[in-house]
Chain A
């Protein structure tokens, strides 16, 4: 009876509320955490925000007349342009945060034991984001998105074997009228599944955290206050981009309706897909590109085991330097894919080579040398 009276009215009737409160008040977190450690939290907030704005868009979206329905949302639905701006700007920011989070995780070696699983979830987060973002780009029904879809469908047709079968099942055959209807479903499912990936990331990060019990603090109010400050900064950047640079998350050629035989000048992919497009684009056949994508993903997943410094290895300056070089390399891949750099095709090959070189050779060798 006494235990009952200690609990609030709601918690005694719905016990999981009590465990949530206990979770928020438990002293399990290390004090003095960096603002950058709030990135996964911000990603979770943005994923929820994108799901909500996506539901509103899905109500008005018509995959059979994709471009016309997007124009309808922009021009004729009450505040439809605002919701669409939210969805596009949220996309840009969630990708920016995911790239920065992965970069920081490599830089501070957040992937090392016992936190391997939170690294695996971080990589999975980026992969699911890339697929969801590409689907969203295709769903706009613009000329650039349609060109990308036709290329993907043709690649799937030419693959054969298991990868071809998976590709054909996913896209439903050559890019046609019904393709966007099924891709809309996958876009929504993958987008909502992002929340599950982030949840798994938080659970594994919590399990891996090593905190001195004497110094530990609770989420409430310490990290709630910090995350709220991080969220306010994010919201500030969000409105700056969304209201004054709404074109940042799209490509100009996507304002042209898909179809017809004309291929618009400057058709490309949005910035957040550009590094992946640059990496896949250097391979002459679809089979090689798929193989390279699989190798790249496996290498990213394998990073905790490619790092040979052991659990107590010191943080080396050379490894830090090469991590910054890797960031520039990925940036360069994106710029080369956009054709901004001179000699873009040559540079894309060089940057792709460096990406594999970094993980296959540099990471094991440099970490092993620095651990001595």
Chain B
């Protein structure tokens, strides 16, 4: 018993020591991905900061409401504050500035972008960090920028993220890669806000039906034995 307690204590201490040191960038991974994934609320909150200060200049998030931010760990007062700052209420959809016309391309609504694009948050990260000078032999259309992750390689969106584009309240260094990863996790949540509940219910349901299957098969065998 004492040994179990000691082991638990060591694991707990290791867990606490590990809590804020997790590096999701090398290699790049998202807590929301995978069969047992959950939304990384700290990353998603930082991602909301990035969305609010950078993305919202052009992109709306029209299917998500300010009240939904409470699911990311914001208090009702904080969510109401966010709504008030944008001139809305808790029940207002999160609208960005009026969509700019980027030379004929209209910035898409970001509510479901992680579900719409193959690769989800990985694609968003690769896209936001994929800007660069066009390789030799590529002639860009007027008003377009080269992006290695975008199908076709040319996008009307400019390279908007850079080191220090936002100030994080939790002390995480706002490097360009960190901002891209955080906003990708935030948009993964926006596209699938029920992910945590789905995985939790699913886990319980699987345990329940595994036992039910065993009982049902055993009862079937017992019933049929009397027939023989």
| Residues on A facing B (Cβ under 8 Å) | 31, 71, 74-75, 81-82, 85, 217, 221-222, 225-226, 228-229, 231-233, 235-236, 239-240, 242-244, 246, 252-253, 255-256, 264-266
Closest-by-CB residue of A relative to B208 is A239
Task: List the A side residues contacting B213 at CB < 8 Å.
Answer: 229, 232-233, 235-236
Q: How far is the CA of A242 from the CA of B194 in the complex (A)?
A: 13
Q: How far is the CA of A264 from the CA of B199 in the complex (A)?
A: 29
**Residue B118 is within 8 A (CB to CB) of chain A in the complex:** yes
Task: List the B side residues contacting A243 at CB < 8 Å.
Answer: 198-199, 201-203, 205-206
Question: Given A239-B202, A252-B116, A31–B227 Cβ distance below 8 Å?
Answer: yes
Task: List the B side residues contacting A266 at CB < 8 Å.
Answer: 118
Task: List the B side residues contacting A82 at CB < 8 Å.
Answer: 194, 201
Cβ-Cβ contact count across A and B, 8 Å cutoff: 82
Report which of A240, A252, A265 forms a contact with B115, defined as CB distance below 8 A.
A252
In chain B, residues 67-99, which have Cβ atoms closer than 8 Å to a Cβ of chain A? 68
Closest 3 CB pairs of A and B: A243-B202, A239-B205, A229-B216
Closest-by-CB residue of B relative to A74 is B194
**Residue B173 is within 8 A (CB to CB) of chain A in the complex:** no
Task: List the A side residues contacting B64 at CB < 8 Å.
Answer: 75
| Residues on B facing A (Cβ under 8 Å) | 35, 63-64, 68, 111-112, 115-118, 151, 191, 193-194, 198-199, 201-203, 205-206, 209-210, 212-213, 215-217, 219-220, 223-224, 227
Q: How far is the CA of A246 from the CA of B202 in the complex (A)?
A: 11
Q: Distance in Å from the Cβ of B227 to the closest Cβ of chain A?
A: 6
Task: List the B side residues contacting A236 at CB < 8 Å.
Answer: 206, 209-210, 212-213
Task: List the B side residues contacting A74 at CB < 8 Å.
Answer: 194
**Does B63 contact A71, Cβ atoms closer than 8 Å?**
yes
Closest-by-CB residue of B relative to A221 is B223
Q: Distance in Å from the Cβ of B122 to the closest Cβ of chain A?
A: 14
Q: Distance in Å from the Cβ of A26 to the closest Cβ of chain B?
A: 15
Task: List the B side residues contacting A81 at CB < 8 Å.
Answer: 194, 198
User: Could you pull out 30 A-B pairs where Cβ atoms are within 8 angstroms?
Assistant: A74-B194, A81-B194, A81-B198, A82-B194, A217-B227, A222-B227, A225-B216, A225-B219, A225-B223, A225-B224, A228-B216, A228-B220, A229-B217, A232-B209, A232-B216, A232-B217, A235-B209, A235-B213, A236-B213, A240-B206, A242-B202, A243-B205, A246-B198, A252-B116, A252-B117, A253-B116, A255-B116, A264-B116, A265-B151, A266-B118
Task: List the A side residues contacting B201 at CB < 8 Å.
Answer: 82, 243
Q: A226-B224, A232-B213 are in contact. List 20 more A-B contacts (CB 8 A).
A: A75-B193, A81-B194, A222-B227, A226-B220, A228-B216, A228-B220, A232-B215, A232-B217, A235-B212, A236-B206, A239-B202, A239-B209, A243-B198, A243-B199, A243-B201, A243-B202, A252-B118, A255-B112, A255-B115, A264-B116
**Does B212 contact A232, Cβ atoms closer than 8 Å?**
yes
Task: List the B side residues contacting A222 at CB < 8 Å.
Answer: 223-224, 227
Closest-by-CB residue of A relative to B35 is A244
Q: How far is the CA of A255 from the CA of B118 in the complex (A)?
A: 11
Task: List the B side residues contacting A255 at CB < 8 Å.
Answer: 112, 115-116, 191
Task: List the B side residues contacting A253 at CB < 8 Å.
Answer: 116
Task: List the B side residues contacting A225 at CB < 8 Å.
Answer: 216, 219-220, 223-224
Q: How far is the CA of A263 from the CA of B98 in the complex (A)?
A: 24
Q: How far is the CA of A221 from the CA of B226 in the complex (A)?
A: 11
**Does A229 contact B206, Cβ atoms closer than 8 Å?**
no
Task: List the A side residues contacting B210 at CB < 8 Å.
Answer: 236
Q: Distance in Å from the Cβ of B98 to the closest Cβ of chain A?
A: 18
Counting chain B CB atoms within 10 Å of each CB, which of A226, A232, A236, A246 scores highest?
Answer: A232
Q: Distance in Å from the Cβ of A167 to the closest Cβ of chain B?
A: 31
Q: Distance in Å from the Cβ of A33 to the closest Cβ of chain B?
A: 10
Task: List the A side residues contacting B219 at CB < 8 Å.
Answer: 225, 228-229
Task: List the A side residues contacting B202 at CB < 8 Å.
Answer: 239-240, 242-244
Task: List the B side residues contacting A85 at CB < 8 Å.
Answer: 198
Closest-by-CB residue of B relative to A246 is B198
Closest-by-CB residue of A relative to B119 is A252
Q: How far is the CA of A120 from the CA of B164 in the complex (A)?
A: 68
Q: How far is the CA of A255 from the CA of B201 in the complex (A)?
A: 24
Task: List the A side residues contacting B217 at CB < 8 Å.
Answer: 229, 232
Counting chain A CB atoms within 10 Å of each CB, which of B194, B212, B215, B220 scores highest?
Answer: B220
Q: Distance in Å from the Cβ of B206 to the closest Cβ of chain A?
A: 6
**Does B223 contact A256, Cβ atoms closer than 8 Å?**
no
**Does B206 contact A239, Cβ atoms closer than 8 Å?**
yes
Task: List the B side residues contacting A232 at CB < 8 Å.
Answer: 209, 212-213, 215-217
Closest-by-CB residue of B relative to A240 is B206
Task: List the B side residues contacting A217 at CB < 8 Å.
Answer: 227
Task: List the A side residues contacting B205 at CB < 8 Å.
Answer: 239, 243
